Amino acid sequence: MRVTKRIVVLLSTMLLIAVASNAALRALPQPVLPNPVLYLTGTEVYTTGGKTWIRYQYDVLNKADYPDAMFAAAPALPPCGLNTKSSRTWVDFFDSRGKRLYGFCALGKPADLSGIWFALEDGVVPPSFVYIEMNDRQTNTKYKSNLADTVM
């Protein structure tokens, strides 16, 4: 009987330690993610709707620092237009004065940050610098990039 009682006490103690450890881990602050490091990779001329446009293509140098979960589909969050499976994190381009230029609401993984862009009609002078904001809608956290050139 004594051995059984000791085993029960030991198992109960181990269970309490496990529960307390789990609660302590949840209470720890989440790791702080860095702000994105934005840089221009090139420009592309294209025509659509009878107009000629210049696409300014960018990449995020430290995209691997962001977890896949930040770009997972988030159907429980408000949709992006008709897209009810838009991602948890939306990415928006702004000029240096804060005017929104373009945005992405359905990037599926951090690697997709290598294909972000905004476009201006040919002949429109681009802003000297742009930046992005990554808005994690689940945690209500915004990550603002550096100012990046619009010329190479």
Task: State the DSSP string of 2-20.
Answer: HHHHHHHHHHHHHHHHHHH
Neighbours of 90 (CB within 10 A): 21
| Predicted TM-score (pTM) above 0.85 | no
Residue 4 backbone dihedrals phi, psi, to 5 degrees? -60, -40
Please give the chain's pLDDT, 152 residues, in tens: 566 666 655 555 555 555 455 555 455 566 789 999 999 999 999 999 999 999 999 999 999 999 999 999 999 999 999 998 899 999 999 999 999 999 999 999 999 999 999 999 999 999 999 999 999 999 999 999 999 999 98
- Exposed / middle / buried, residue 116 (Cβ in 10 Å: 0-12, 13-18, 19+): buried
Nearest to 105 by CA among 61, 145, 136, 148: 136
